[in-house]
Amino acid sequence: MTFVVTDNCVKCKYTDCVEVCPVDCFYEGPNFLVIHPDECIDCALCEPECPAEAIFSEDEVPTGQEQYIEINAELAEEWPNITEQKDPLPDAAEWDGVPDKIDHIER
Ligand code: SF4
Ligand code: F3S
């Protein structure tokens, strides 16, 4: 089991989540974060920390966002590790809550 970062993180990237992860399993792209499924210990600490409510347990990913399970696994192999919180993206408040941001993920 793993936790998964989903659609509402895209173009927000608040990064509150990385501060609480005991195993540092978050990986950072230009405008999105992912969780490495082989490193996540399923502790659930990050889920309530996300201001965008973008983190879900693998078995609770909202309907229509299942593709994020594979996206997290794929991009965690490509992107660098992030272990410290940083400022959110400048337009985070504007994009928070906008649906279907998957095509905006920059790689
Ligand atoms: Fe890290 Fe725990 Fe969140 Fe997994 S569930 S990403 S181990 S904080
Ligand atoms: Fe993204 Fe939420 Fe973390 S917006 S960077 S999953 S705190």
pLDDT by 10-residue block (mean), the chain, 107 residues: 98 98 98 98 98 98 98 98 98 98 98
Read off the CATH number of the domain in which 17 is found. 3.30.70.20
Q: How many domains does the chain have?
A: 1
Which atom of ligand 1 is least distant from the CA of 35? Answer: 6
In a domain, 102, yes or no: no
Domain membership flag for residue 11: yes
Whole-Å CA distances, 75 to 25, 38, 70, 94:
12, 13, 9, 25
Taking every pair of Cα atoms in the chain, the longest distance, rounded to a whole number of angstroms, is: 33
Q: What's the token pair of residue 48?
A: 């309530």
Domain presence at residue 96: no
- Single-letter amino acid code for the residue at 16: D
Structural domain span for residue 12 = 3-87
Collapsing DSSP to helix, strand or coil, 55 comes out as strand
Atom of ligand 1 nearest to the CA of 26: 6
CA distances from 51 to 38, 79, 96 (A): 25, 22, 9
Residue 96 CB less than 6 A away from ligand 2 = no
Candidates 96, 106, 104, 85; CA nearest to 8 is 96
**Is the distance from the beta carbon of residue 43 to the nearest atom of ligand 1 less than 6 Å?**
yes
Q: Is 4 exposed, middle or buried (0-12, 13-18, 19+ CB in 10 A)?
A: buried
Q: What is the pLDDT of residue 76?
A: 98
Q: Quick: pLDDT tens for 12-35.
A: 999 999 999 999 999 999 999 999
